[in-house]
Chains A and B, each alone.
Chain A
């Protein structure tokens, strides 16, 4: 047997396996939120790049042995069955597939979004782009809400609060838990109040509960900036940066919620008469105005 036949065989054997693996992961979700880099061209490149002769022999005998083939097939089918069962049962309680959408972010998106939260004045197009009736994943659209920044912001806020308390010698381990649960309770109260008012004003939006949690969680970024500035520059630094972040979050929320809550005509700037749109405008304004209030309320006791 010459080596070229072997190398040809191996090259033909590897790509079909690769294709099988990637199509099996793609069939579970309509559009891949994350790129599958597990199997990948790395394996084939490695295989083709290495010395093909001696390395090819034991792999081929292992793969061509019928018993081990059977065992591998059986094992993989069992594993996939178990995984399906766990996924199905878990999906009933926590909508994991919906949550995955909110964490499909990358570094560029996070950087741009953080910049947008602190300086929303230059951004023109605030609409969320859709792809065949489903919203595009956040990594492709900067206007889409995500849960990564709120979750990370919450954790960072708790840590920064602990730091601030520590510099004033007021730190105890219980206070860290108290800060975390206080902020969480206020978040829950805010989301429930928003849901209640959205229900009472009969707004037909596609804002889900998780969207509201995401929007309410964006204020943690401003709070962190304020507290860090207060630690570095004293009370004046705290007040100045908090004022800046409050105004930015106010503008950000109004521009984002205007497209979601107000009807089409009013969102384009045309002032539509009618009590319905007036109520919706009031609702948008009050949601946006609640953010600075919470930002001040949750941080003023940290900076003395």
Chain B
């Protein structure tokens, strides 16, 4: 397996993009994964599913702007250098 650090960066960008394009209303509510549905009370055991939904929502909120920048840089670099 010939992995380079560059392929790791590519993988990270692709995965983050994949999480970022999951739309809240159109998709996540349809399958019951919206961020406000799963969380029960304020008990001490959030559970795996609630943590996952929390993670998806926070990744989408936090990484939106940096992803725009990183994707633009990637597009420009790939156009210039192939």
Contact = CB atoms under 8 A, between A and B. Distances in A.
Chains A and B form a bound pair: yes
Interface in B17-62: 45-46, 48, 51-52, 55
Interface residues of A, number: 15
Contact of B46 (A181, A182, A202, A279): A202
Contacts of B46: 202
A276 B2 CA distance: 38
A199 interface: yes
Interface string A143-174: 00000000000000000000000000000000
Contacts of A96: none
Given A199-B55, A200-B55, A279 B48 contact: yes
Interface of A: 178, 181-182, 184-186, 188-189, 199-202, 276, 279, 297
Interface of B: 1-5, 7-8, 45-46, 48, 51-52, 55
26 contacts: A178-B2, A178-B4, A181-B3, A181-B5, A182-B1, A182-B2, A182-B3, A182-B4, A184-B5, A185-B3, A185-B4, A185-B5, A185-B7, A186-B3, A188-B8, A189-B8, A199-B51, A199-B55, A200-B48, A200-B52, A201-B48, A201-B51, A202-B45, A202-B46, A202-B51, A297-B1
